[in-house]
Amino acid sequence: MGMEMADIESALGSRHPKFRAKQIYDALYAKRQLDLTKATALPAAIKAEFESGALTEASRYDSVDGTVRYLLGMKDGKTIEAVFMPERGRDTLCISSQVGCPVDCKFCLTALMGLERNLTAGEIVGQVLHLAARHQLDPQDKQMNIVMMGQGEPLMNLDAVLKATRLLVDPAGVGMSERRITVSTSGLIPKIEELAQSPVRPKLAISLNASHEEQRVELMPITKKWHLKDLLEVCVHYPLRSWEFLTFEYVLLRGVNDTDADALRVRKLLANIRCKVNLIALNPGPGIPFETPDPERVESFQDIVKVGMPCFIRKPRGLDIYAACGQLKRMSEGAELIGITG
Ligand code: SAH
Ligand code: SF4
């Protein structure tokens, strides 16, 4: 898993005929055969040499709202999280790009893990194929969407993220549409520029999370390096495709960044960008020193922002199983969840 056609061809070398590469590629990505030993088109000699590299299921946690969080095992024994979120007319798979995350956002549980390692393209695609198989999803169906918003900062692992994206959108492979894959970043400016140059790329979401520079640096210390002004400049010039909007995510923290004045500043900051805003009321967790604002506060914030651009409130999913945004830290079900207002 994770090999493109050229990678498979070079792995086959001169020991096997070249057409076998196409058969392996087809079995892995188009037929999504997670167990290659069952691929009837492949001869035993190939099966003896190649395995799919599919992830194993270490645990599964089911939420009352239909969300399912998976802990998936990799070759080195480490585990990674992926979340399935069904909705009427739309299924969303939230997948990870790293084990843990090196970015130190003050409101995020994943940050407490630090970075263990980058995922490979195969491990990224492997999450998608595992969830698709478990929930009988057809990646070519408009119903299925992927967000790279699980553990990790995807743009710190951009090569693997782009390779995984190519495999997922290749019509001869998994066959998804680029329009249905979104990558979310804390705002690494040079990597956003690199992403912009990529011929095949997911849609881009940026975690804004603050209405001015000082506040942003406090909540997301990494932004000391990547200033808000420069980030917005890159966004203004980002080469959006005809059908595309940038998304800005904004985690609302009670009494910290959730005032009407903050909302007004957000609207002004983003005025020149073709974008929409997703508001996320904080999902609390142990060790997170912030509180969730009341729903009325979140709605007032939305009312102000939406004068300037589309603005939505993201419903928390899977709070009871630690599957919501910012909660992915390999928690077990039933871990204490005090003070959730959702
Ligand atoms: N690392 C990437 C993608 C993963 S985080 C990024 O930061 O964009 C996905 C989203 O969850 C981000 O927008 C982040 O700001 C948000 N988030 C993090 N912790 C959260 C929390 N405790 N409650 C609600 N949203 C949170
Ligand atoms: Fe990493 Fe995103 Fe969490 Fe920040 S919010 S620590 S970038 S996963």
pLDDT tens series, the chain, 342 aa: 999 999 999 999 998 999 999 999 999 999 999 999 988 889 999 988 888 999 999 999 999 999 999 999 999 999 999 999 999 999 999 999 999 999 999 999 999 889 999 999 999 999 999 999 999 999 999 999 999 999 999 999 999 999 999 999 999 999 999 999 999 999 999 999 999 999 999 999 999 999 999 999 999 999 999 999 999 999 999 999 999 999 999 999 999 999 999 999 999 999 999 999 999 999 988 889 999 999 999 999 999 999 999 999 998 888 888 877 777 777 654 443 333 322
pLDDT at site 336: 37
pLDDT at site 334: 42
pLDDT at site 341: 29
Residues 6+ away with beta carbon under 8 Å from 70: 57, 59, 60, 61, 81, 82, 83, 84, 127, 130, 131, 134
pLDDT at site 333: 44
- Put residue 200 in one of left, alpha, beta given phi > 0 → left and psi -120 to 50 → alpha: beta
Ligand 2 centroid – CA 152 distance (Å)? 6
* Closest Cα to atom 4 of ligand 2: 105
pLDDT at site 287: 87
Pocket test for ligand 2, best of 113, 186, 208 (most atoms within 8 A of CB): 186
The pTM (predicted TM-score) of the whole model is 0.94
Pocket test for ligand 2, best of 95, 106, 110, 218 (most atoms within 8 A of CB): 110
pLDDT at site 65: 94
pLDDT at site 331: 65
What does R_g of the chain's alpha carbons equal in angstroms?
A: 21
> Which structure tokens are listed for 115?
């970075």
Q: Where are the beta strands (DSSP E) in 9-155?
A: 56-62, 68-73, 79-87, 90-94, 98-100, 115-118, 144-148
Helix (H), strand (E) at residue 247: strand 246-252
Q: pLDDT tens digits for 91-149?
A: 999 999 999 999 999 999 999 889 999 999 999 999 999 999 999 999 999 999 999 99
The residues that are catalytic are: 81, 325
> Which structure tokens are listed for 215?
């506040």
Ligand 2 centroid – CA 184 distance (Å)? 9
pLDDT at site 329: 75
Query: Cα separations (Å) of 308 from 200, 238, 276, 313?
Result: 30, 19, 9, 15
